[in-house]
Amino acid sequence: MNKTQTQLTTNTWVTATWQEYIQTIQDPTYEKAKSYYHKGKLRIEMSPLGNDHANDHAVITIAVGLFAATRNINLNFKDNCTYRKTGFREAQPDVSCYIGENANVIPRGTSIINLDIYPPPNLVIEVANTSLPDDKGEKRLLYEAMNVSEYWIVDVQNLEIIAFAVTNGGSRKIDQSQVLSGLPISLLEEALQRSCQTNQGQVYPWLLKEFQEINAQ
């Protein structure tokens, strides 16, 4: 990255050192931006988040919370939280989650989560409207390197969820969550589709009933 560059190209990966990345995210211009760093490149996302992105973000987060509640699964969500391995990588996923024995591993008062001290989240979710190719590509590689357990991409335009299990630095597509055992990805997709036809106050009671039926099997 050219240090004399007055305006950074956003929403794309730009070659930069770690020091240049830190200088960039400390610039007040990017105070409200999302930032990523991986393999000597930075990405600053400044795209406005519209209604569809916000709707799907809410539906997925609450759906996972409802499922965990019906299964007595311990979990803690993080919304746009920063994860950092100094000098190597950084990410700010739309949603991330610590599950089970890791639910309370991050103490209150922690700012940036230092991956040299704490484990990565069990589940990472990116809600993709205009960023889908990158979420399926470079960010997928980033989360593989972070060694998260599971990575979901919510495709806003197609109302689909692309879910991956991450093991040994690689990932494979899955149809059912492994970190939330018994949760079919297709049911979450149906919840997204229903949220376009009615309000969320109608979707969640339906979803809760579906979860209860799964648990009764």
Query: What pLDDT band is residue 112 in, cutting at 50, 70 and 90?
Result: very high
Residue 137 neighbours by CB under 8 Å, 6+ apart: none
Residues 31 and 61 in one domain: no
Residues 110 and 26 in one domain: no
Residues 108 and 28 in one domain: no
Whether residue 4 is predicted with pLDDT greater than 50 in this model: the reply is: no
Residues 76 and 20 in one domain: no
Residues 162 and 207 in one domain: yes
What is the separation of C-alpha 161 from the centre of its chain, rounded to a whole number of angstroms?
Answer: 12
Residue 163 near residue 177 (C-beta atoms within 8 A): yes
The 10s digit of each residue's pLDDT in 35-58 is: 999 999 999 998 777 999 999 999
Q: How far apart are CA 132 and CA 134, in angstroms?
A: 5
Residues 58 and 30 in one domain: no
Residues 39 and 102 in one domain: no
Query: What pLDDT band is residue 217 in, cutting at 50, 70 and 90?
Result: confident
Residues 31 and 72 in one domain: no
Residues 112 and 210 in one domain: yes
- Residue 36 pairs with which residues in a beta bridge? 43
The 10s digit of each residue's pLDDT in 159-193 is: 999 999 999 999 999 999 999 999 999 999 999 99
Tokens matching residue 3: 């240090």
User: Could you give the percent of the chain with pLDDT greater than 70?
Assistant: 97
For residue 147, the enclosing domain spans 49-216
Whether residue 5 is predicted with pLDDT greater than 70 in this model: the reply is: no
- Read off the CATH number of the domain in which 184 is found: 3.90.1570.10
The number of folded domains in the chain is 2
